[in-house]
Amino acid sequence: MERDVCGDCGHIVYANPKIVVGSVVTWRDKILMCRRAIEPRKGFWTLPAGYLEEHETPEEGARREAREEAECEIVLDALLAVYSIPRLSQVQLMYRAHLEKEKFGAGAESLEVALFSWDDIPWTEIAFPSVHWALKHWLETKGRPVFAPFSNPPGENGNFPPR
């Protein structure tokens, strides 16, 4: 792979993937979801997630994203999955978490935030394929204190076409 290199000092410019951090957050037996107020996929439902900031651990980033998007405090339980989305040059770290208390609201990037029972999740209005993956992986780990983190489902290389 060719890289841009400064002819004067030799500095190499690296184009690195973005790290996304987020969580499947529960309260009792319901899942917290956010309706997006921003593009891409404005108006569709997602999990609280976003880009990791510099000088922040993935765990800190996941908690910050929950505060920003759902105005809530969460307790992380375990790393649920690591997804590769090469088309977008993203690596997504998704955690399993629960609300510290039943208090949440719509942050600046959310039109609304709600708790859904499994059967009431708006499956046809989910913003991104990786949200489907995370929800299904969460279901597979429900009640399991220990599990290995998941990766992309079989046959899903993350290069799905844009919607």
The tens digit of pLDDT for each residue in 41-68 reads 999 999 999 999 999 999 999 999 999 9
Average of per-residue pLDDT across 62-85: 98
The tens digit of pLDDT for each residue in 152-161 reads 999 888 776 5
**The tokens of 126 are what?**
């989910």
- Supply the mean pLDDT for the chain: 95
CATH number assigned to the domain with residue range 18-141, chosen from the 4 options 3.30.300.30, 3.40.190.10, 3.30.230.70, 3.90.79.10: 3.90.79.10
At 2 the pLDDT is 85
What's the predicted TM-score (pTM) here? 0.92
At 113 the pLDDT is 98
The tens digit of pLDDT for each residue in 129-147 reads 999 999 999 999 999 999 9
At 161 the pLDDT is 54
Contact 74, 23 (CB under 8 A): yes
Contact 72, 154 (CB under 8 A): no
- Give Cα 120 to chain centroid, integer Å: 20
Whether residue 78 is predicted with pLDDT greater than 90 in this model: the reply is: yes
At 1 the pLDDT is 78
At 163 the pLDDT is 41
Q: For residues 74 and 18, what is the distance between their CA atoms, to the nearest angstrom?
A: 23
At 162 the pLDDT is 45
